[in-house]
Structure 1
Amino acid sequence: MTAEYSAHHLQVLEGLEAVRKRPGMYIGSTDSRGLMHCLWEIIDNSVDEALGGYGDRIEIVLHRDGSVEVRDRARGIPVDVEPRTGLSGVEVVFTKLHAGGKFGGGSYAASGGLHGVGASVVNALSERLDVEVDRGGKTYAMSFHRGEPGVFAGPEPTSAFSPFEKSSELRVTGRAPKGATGTRIRYWADQQIFTKDAAFSLEELEQRARQTAFLVPGLELVIRDERAGDDTEINEASFRYDGGISEFAEYLATDPAITDTWRLSGDGTFTETVPVLQESGAMVPTEVERTCHVDIALRWGTGYETKQRSFVNIIATPKGGTHQAGFEAGLMKTIRAQVEQNARRLKVGNDKLDKDDILAGLTAVLTVRLPEPQFEGQTKEVLGTPAVRQIVTNVVNRELGARFSSTKRDDKSQTALLLEKVVSEMKARISARTHKETQRRKNALESSSLPTKLADCRTSDVNATELFIVEGDSALGTAKLARNSEYQALLPIRGKILNVQKASIADMLGNAECAAIIQVIGAGSGRSFDLDLARYGKVILMSDADVDGAHIRTLLLTLFFRYMRPLIEAGRVFAAVPPLHRVVVMNPGSKPNDVIYTYSEKELHGLLSKLSKAGKRWQEPIQRYKGLGEMDADQLATTTMDRAGRTLRRVRMEDAEAAASVFELLMGNEVAPRKEFIIDASARLDRERIDA
């Protein structure tokens, strides 16, 4: 630091230097998230071409050397000379910020690339980038090193590099098949920029490819992961959906349907004033007319969760924006009007619908397409174009209103069911609010309303308390002796609870075991669940270490996932880890024997091998615990319940989602996927694991 501060202290970053100096400004971060953002920028350029009707296949290849390649069959990047810069179109796209064909020049009616920095930013943050273009019967190629064009001596990013000195050259490397056009881009992310643990996520890539295939019907996206090793381990997945966003909504929905998947579509026009660059170099405000196309797929199910996905020119807007606000406003206006018209039949009274009542059980995919949309920042997470809100609202009002006034039998029955569901959600919300206002947390002396089989704890400090949900009365007896009654409560359940995956809310609440769990936790269920009212700081599922125990744990997880999800999101649901084996190591003389617990067959065999090498003996037979009731109180306390020595597995949100997905497959209403799963998985079955 110096007191002197003059113009020579100022630094001007030219060209791509600014990107390398402040990469977070352009890609958000330099970890795996930023690495994936770079890949999206390249893929989205190919998708924009497919959106315009050019090309129907995009390939993404994750190579063994850490590079990634994107191939398409679109028009190909222009190879002729751009008159202002005197550079080829390829070099302009990859070296000049804010340069591209998506600034209203007529090349794209609607696109996701808006700022002209995508490809050039990826180039600036790559140790090496190679691009090949097929156009006019020729294959053109160009290479870059950290954004600078030149020639590499070899195929590796570390090969000797010679930058162009006087003028750059777009090389002709071969002949392309007649009529073939397209672009192939391969790049190596710069290790000087990205963190060491940054890596491409195959799961995230497949999720994004699936989403894009839904949004652009007829487009096939192929992903090849060659990073594993030899050719036999190459992982390839292909995504293509001709049904578009209707299929997307059906894919996202998990609950039984009340309505079919409805499509609402329409157009609207608006004018906006934008600065237009004149030949003189001045920016002149000009009023232009825009057309916005709206396409929505939505359906209501029996559940209470809301799943909304919104997109602008196939770019996801996870934080919404004016299009999503217009969609929700249109739903509110239309359905409120329908409920008022049918108020006597639905027995509404003077109560008013809330937005959450209408969105409960809704699965919707909202897409809008318009030229030059206004986003907040390069990451494009929020749409800001004001006029889109009213256009979307008008489309929803018109199309959804037509569905309610339809004379078709299916439409009439489905809209009637929808209104009944919305009104029942409203009544449930009002009832829950009334109950919440009058409810007070019961202390130990006021717990007469709680189930009699609950063995409650004495402390009223929620942060310190633990509720163990145990399997069966036999385990309960042992657990009562093993627990610390000051802060550990016990609730036994009788065998396998109701499969709430395909049961109605009424059936769930009518089931004694499910109702007891909800009542004991004391925070309600579904949308009315209030985490602040939960009576225990931890909920621990303690079941036997066998197949039935795993089944019961899955049933319980499904109950928590569907009706008490905030507990899981807050990390307050755990699974106890009881041991499988008890090994008594015999010591010579009068020295007491050592007791070692193991938690898997692999761990047991490793322990026995280690003891054998050390020349130690153990008692035979080794005790194998098939149930919690086989332990005495001291053993259960030491291994499973005592905070000093136990192990707990925290149930994370992704664990619960996986459990619900598997349970829907194995125990849901759809038989065909279950049959297919059994047939496919039969070849992987280890027959020796069957206990028969």
Structure 2
Amino acid sequence: MSYTAESISVLKGLEPVRHRPGMYTRTDHPLHIIQEVIDNAADEALGGFCTRIGVILHRDGSATVQDDGRGIPVEIHPVEGVPTVEVVYTQLHAGGKFNKNDGTSAYRFSGGLHGVGVSVTNALSTRLEVEVVRNGGRFQVAFAGGNVIEPLARVGDAPKRASGTRVRAWPDPQFFDSPNIPQAELERLLRSKAVLLPGLEISLATEAGETKTWRFENGMQQYLAEQVDGELAGPIFTGEKYAAAGDENFPTGSGAAWALCWSTDGNLARESYVNLIPTPAGGTHETGLRQATFDAVKSFAEHHALLPKGIKLAAEDVFSRVSFVLAARVLDPSFQGQTKERLNSRDAVALVSRMLRDPLELWLNEHPDEAKKITELAIKAAQARSRAGQKVEKRKQSGVAILPGKLSDCQSEDINRNELFLVEGDSAGGSAKSGRDKEVQAILPLRGKVLNTWEVEPGSLFANREVHDIAVALGIDPHLPDASDSVLENLRYGKVVIMTDADVDGSHIRVLLCTLFYRHFPKLIEHGHLYFAQPPLYRLDVPAQGKKRPPRKLYALDDVERTALLDRLQIEGIKPESVAISRFKGLGEMNPEQLWETTMSPDTRRLMRVRLPQESEAKPVMNMLMAKNESAGRRAWMETNGALIGAEI
């Protein structure tokens, strides 16, 4: 098979979205592409330009979203030469959300900073109609499959002060597992917008005549009180705090609003948002909330001498009975994936923690009786954790296995907290040992490439020293996929983290380790114990800005995040050319402090959990990639898919 210039495909416009919709949105149902339209209307409300949002579900599967915001501009775009509304709906990286230098922009703290919002809605719809009211006129334009089919036209007059946008989209069923928009999930989404934007009226109507309306004057507190069904240890603590102009640490206007409480029993309610976007998978803003609550409660307990002798509080003890609603405002947020279900922005940890801790500490001291109840809950959780750790210690002492000499073990015996890092090379292993949290983090350095164990029988597995050391450190034996869960009874670590360089050799070692765990320790993956570390590629050295702003070191996971950091620094008045950018060749280049801050600290690191795929899908692929007699199949696969992988990279 020839590999020439003609082999490389270049997708134009919205073709990439239609070619691979899963890279841009959820494909189980069309709610997410409708949510993109709703988010635009909510961003208008966040900027103070919108008071009502209405959503209609039609019998034919389409949905309409209407707001009384400013209306999308209809003037000719100065660069593209076509109406601006057409640019917004036909180009991936277009919109007011990129105007980060404008401190008054409604989109300064928008959640749509990937720039692929409503253009994806357009690409994955059989038809999309937009009606804009502004400047005394009513304008309409229609699209199909991402292309303009009815050019923008003025269809009538409107009152001078009237403005707004109405969008009706017909999702294309070929791109979704189910063509139906789940109404219950849509209702939760709309209600959350009303909770986060007090005073905004949001309605949902169906053509069957059903209508629901939400409007919360006292948003988060009222909402959280309805969600928590257990007995509260005290009143709900609400507040908000944002960085003022001239703040030395955070962009103006960034910060958080929150409502949180402790309950003695019942179900917990936990919801978080970034710039109005729901983050069901949490992220760094929730880490900041967790850190602030831990610091505040621990400070109160120590100040009032409430801790029993021998009890050491941990963050999970304080947070175990917390329910919360958190709404963070983050400039230029970085999400995991286009569906924005988890926030990755490192600075959100310090942002939320800094904004929340002092108000919470003040509140605890103003409510000492309730604060003591909250502290008692944390102490009970710590005592239960201590008892569980003692049980683990007995099991450990009854074993006869001798731990590998190169293993730097942790002090804790609590499996739920313990972490084992499998580190590539002695150099990185040395930095990891020096920079780790010795209480809960263990380090096992790996020398050289791990054996390809795909075709190795379990009886011969321990002939390889590296594999033997990994198994002994974990405390579990090789097993088959259909083994009982009891094979994990003696597991010594709740998280097993593969930490390798971000280069070809590192990727190879990661594949070999995944092969080992998938082939011989599948229950470890099935129960969610295996993770990949994600060390940064770049370090940005930011010069000092006067006496109050010392030099800083920032880290970027990839090229996209590096660009975002440079944009943010430019807003702060720092010229890009004054920022020194260096690329890490490997983990061994990092000193212990850098490795801890970027890759190992639970507050700032990024871990990717490894999931167990269907055996019918994964086993043939793994056999083709790892079996010794499958070289011809591997070559054919690479010839077929090589260009595609290169294009994605």
**Does the TM-score normalized on the shorter chain lie above 0.5?**
yes
Q: Contact 1:264–1:395 (CA<8 Å) still a contact in 2?
A: no
Deviation string, structure 1 residues 503-523 (Cα, Å, up to 9, x no partner): xxxxxxxxxxxxxxxxxxxxx
Could you tell me which residue of structure 2 aligns to residue 263 of structure 1? 238
Q: SS of 1:192's equivalent?
A: helix
Question: CA 1:5 to 1:46, structure 2 compared with 1: closer, same or farther past 3 Å?
Answer: same
Q: Pick one of 353, 356, 364 that aligns with 1:396.
A: 356
Structure 2 counterpart of 1:413: 369
1:532 and 1:220, CA in 2 relative to 1: closer, same or farther beyond 3 A?
A: farther
Aligned to 1:387: 347
Q: Is the partner of 1:170 in helix, strand or coil?
A: strand
- 1:192 is aligned to 2:177: no
Structure 1 gap ranges (5+)? 152-168, 227-232, 273-286, 440-530, 534-569, 571-692
Which runs of structure 2 are paired with 1:158-557 in the superposition (5 Å)?
169-195=151-177, 197-226=178-207, 233-268=208-243, 289=251, 291-303=253-265, 306-343=268-305, 346=306, 348-406=308-366, 411-431=367-387, 433-434=389-390
Determine if contact 2:229/2:267 at 8 Å carries over to the other structure.
Answer: no
Please report how far the alpha carbon of residue 435 of structure 1 lies from its aligned counterpart in structure 2 after TM superposition: 6.2
| Alignment match, 1:149 | 148
Give 1:304 deviation, angstroms: 6.7
CA contact (8 A) 1:320 1:383 kept: yes
What amino acid maps onto 1:253 in structure 2?
Answer: V
Displacement of 1:438: 6.9
| 1:429 Cα deviation from its structure 2 partner | 3.5
Q: Distance in 2 between matches of 1:394 and 1:356?
A: 19
Looking at structure 2, the residues matched to 210 and 368 of structure 1 have their Cα atoms a distance apart, in angstroms, of 17
Give 1:64 shift. 1.2
**Letter paired with 1:5:** Y
For 1:593-672, what aligned pairs fall within 5 Å after superposition? none
Q: CA deviation at 1:420?
A: 2.2
Percent identity at matched positions?
37
Tell me the TM-score normalised to structure 1 length.
Answer: 0.54
Closer/same/farther in 2, CA of residues 292 and 306 from structure 1, 3 Å limit: same
Cα-to-partner distance string for 1:524-544 (whole Å, 9 max, x where unaligned): xxxxxxx979xxxxxxxxxxx
- Cα distance in 2 for residues equivalent to 1:532 and 1:437: 18
Letter in 2 for 1:413: D
Rounded to whole Å, the distance in 2 between the matches of 1:55 and 1:352 is 49
Q: Give the equivalent residue in structure 2 for 1:48.
A: 43
Work out whether 1:94 is the aligned partner of 2:101: no
Q: Which moved more, 1:126-135 or 1:313-322?
A: 313-322
Change (3 A) 1:188 1:427: same
Cα distance in 2 between the residues matched to 1:347 and 1:322: 29
Q: Is the 8 A contact 2:230 2:266 kept in 1?
A: no
How far apart are 1:251 and its partner, in Å? 2.4
Contact 1:252 1:307 in 2 (8 A): yes
C-alpha offsets along residues 424-443 of structure 1, whole Å, 9 cap, x if unaligned? Answer: 3323443455467779xxxx
Q: 1:133, 1:183 within 8 Å by CA — same for their partners in 2? A: yes
Distance in 1 between residues matched to 2:239 and 2:136, nearest whole Å = 43
Per-residue displacement from partner, 1:485-508 (whole Å, max 9, x unpaired)? xxxxxxxxxxxxxxxxxxxxxxxx
CA distance in 2, matches of 1:242, 1:80: 36
CA distance in 2, matches of 1:198, 1:251: 32
Counterpart mapping for 1:672-691 below 5 A: none
Read off the aligned partner of 1:423 and give its amino acid letter: I
- Tell me, in whole angstroms, the C-alpha distance in 2 between the residues paired with 1:104 and 1:350: 54
Check whether the contact 2:311–2:379 (CA below 8 A) recurs between aligned residues. Answer: no
3-state SS of 1:82 partner: coil
Q: Match for residue 12 of structure 2?
A: 14
Structure 1 residues 379 and 269: CA distance shift in structure 2, 3 A: farther
CA drift of 1:16 comes to 1.0
Asked whether the equivalents of residues 228 and 267 of structure 2 are also in contact (C-alpha less than 8 Å), the reply is: no
Q: Which amino acid aligns with 2:358?
A: R
Superposed CA deviations along residues 128-173 of structure 1, whole A, max 9, x for unmatched, are 111100112211001111111123xxxxxxxxxxxxxxxxx42111
Please identify runs of 4+ aligned residues in structure 1 that moved more than 6 A.
269-272, 435-439
The 3-state SS of whatever aligns with 2:12 is: coil
Q: Structure 1's 192 and 426: CA in aligned 2 closer, same or farther, altered over 3 A? A: closer
Structure showing greater radius of gyration is 1
- Whether the 8 Å contact between 1:304 and 1:361 is mirrored in structure 2 is no
Q: Is this contact kept in 2: 1:306–1:360, CA < 8 A?
A: no
Residue aligning to 1:27 = 25
Asked whether the 8 Å contact 1:216–1:244 carries over to 2, the reply is yes
1:304–1:360 CA contact under 8 A, matched in 2: no
Task: Report the aligned-residue RMSD.
Answer: 2.8
Partners of 1:198 and 1:65 lie apart in 2 by 10
* Residue identity opposite 1:312 in structure 2: V
Which amino acid in the other structure matches residue 41 of structure 1?
Answer: E
User: What is the distance in 1 between the residues matched to 2:231 and 2:266?
Assistant: 11
Q: Is the 8 A contact 1:60 1:69 kept in 2?
A: yes
Choose between structure 1 and 2 for higher RCO, CA contacts under 8 A separated by at least 6 residues.
2
User: 3-state SS of the aligned residue for 2:11?
Assistant: coil
Q: In the alignment, residue 385 of structure 1 is paired with which amino acid?
A: S
Contact persistence 1:296–1:364 (CA under 8 A): yes
**Residues 301 and 103 of structure 1: CA distance in aligned 2, closer, same or farther (over 3 Å):** same
Q: Distance in 1 between matches of 2:343 and 2:246?
A: 17
Moved more, 251-260 or 106-115: 106-115
1-side partners of 2:304 and 2:364: how far apart?
12
Task: With the length of structure 2 as denominator, give the TM-score of the two structures.
Answer: 0.57
Displacement, 1:366? 1.5
Displacement of 1:320 after TM fit? 2.2
Q: Deviations over 1:73-113 (max 9, x none)?
A: 11001011110011111111111110001112533231121
Which residue of structure 2 lines up, in the alignment, with residue 280 of structure 1? none
State the one-letter code of the partner of 1:418.
Answer: I
> Following the alignment from structure 2 to structure 1, what is the Cα–Cα distance between the partners of residues 203 and 95?
26
Indicate if the aligned counterparts of 1:139 and 1:173 stay in contact, CA closer than 8 A.
Answer: yes
* Alpha-carbon separation, structure 2, partners of 1:347 and 1:124: 58
Counterpart code for 1:21: H
2:230–2:267 Cα contact (<8 Å) kept:
no
Aligned counterparts of 1:262 and 1:327: Cα–Cα separation in 2: 13
Name 1:663's counterpart in structure 2: none
**8 Å CA contact retained: 2:255, 2:355:** no
Shift of 1:376: 2.5
Please tell me the residue identity of whatever aligns with 2:316.
Answer: D
Aligned residues: 397
2:55 and 2:63 in contact (8 A); partners too: yes
Structure 1 stretch 109-118 or stretch 57-66: which is displaced more?
Answer: 109-118
Note the residue ranges of structure 2 that are not aligned, 5 or more in a row.
396-484, 488-526, 528-649
Q: 2:61 touches 2:179 (CA, 8 Å); kept in 1?
A: no
Work out the CA distance in 1 between the residues paired with 2:238 and 2:276.
17
Contact 2:233 2:370 in 1 (8 A): yes
